[in-house]
Amino acid sequence: MPRFFRPFHNTSYELAQLDTPDGDFIELAWSLPHNETAPLAIVLHGLEGNINSFYAKGMMKALKKQGYAVVLMHFRNCSSEVNRLPRAYHSGDTADLAFFINHLREQFPSRAIMAVGFSLGGNVLAKYLGEEGKNCPLSAAAVVSAPYDLSSSSEVIRKSLGKIYQKYLLDRMKKSMQRKLPQIKQQIPITTEQLMQIDDLLEFDNQLTAPLHGFENAHDYYRQASAMPYLKHIAIPTLIIHAKDDPMLSIKAVPSRQDVSEHVTLSVSEKGGHVGFISGNNPLRPVFWLEKAVPHYFGQYVPSKASSKQ
Beta strands in 14-139 (DSSP E): 14-19, 25-31, 40-44, 69-73, 113-118
With beta carbons less than 8 A apart as the criterion, state whether 166 and 200 touch: yes
Beta strands in the chain (DSSP E): 14-19, 25-31, 40-44, 69-73, 113-118, 140-144, 238-243, 264-269, 278-279, 287-288
Among left, alpha and beta (phi > 0; psi -120 to 50; other), residue 301 is alpha
Measured in degrees and rounded to the nearest 5, phi and psi for residue 35 equal: -75, 115
Q: Measuring CA to CA, which residue among 111, 113, 107 is closest to residue 137?
A: 113
Q: Measuring CA to CA, which residue among 249, 256, 291 is closest to residue 273?
A: 249
Please identify which of the residues 91, 119, 226, 307 carries the catalytic annotation: 119
Distance from C-alpha of 120 to C-alpha of 140, rounded to nearest angstrom = 19
Residue 296 annotated to the active site: no
Residue 119 annotated to the active site: yes
With beta carbons less than 8 A apart as the criterion, state whether 100 and 73 touch: yes
Cα Rg of the chain (Å, integer): 19
Pairing mode, strands 113-118 and 40-44: parallel
Distance from C-alpha of 298 to C-alpha of 8, rounded to nearest angstrom = 27
Residue 274 annotated to the active site: yes
Which residues are marked as active site?
A: 119, 246, 274
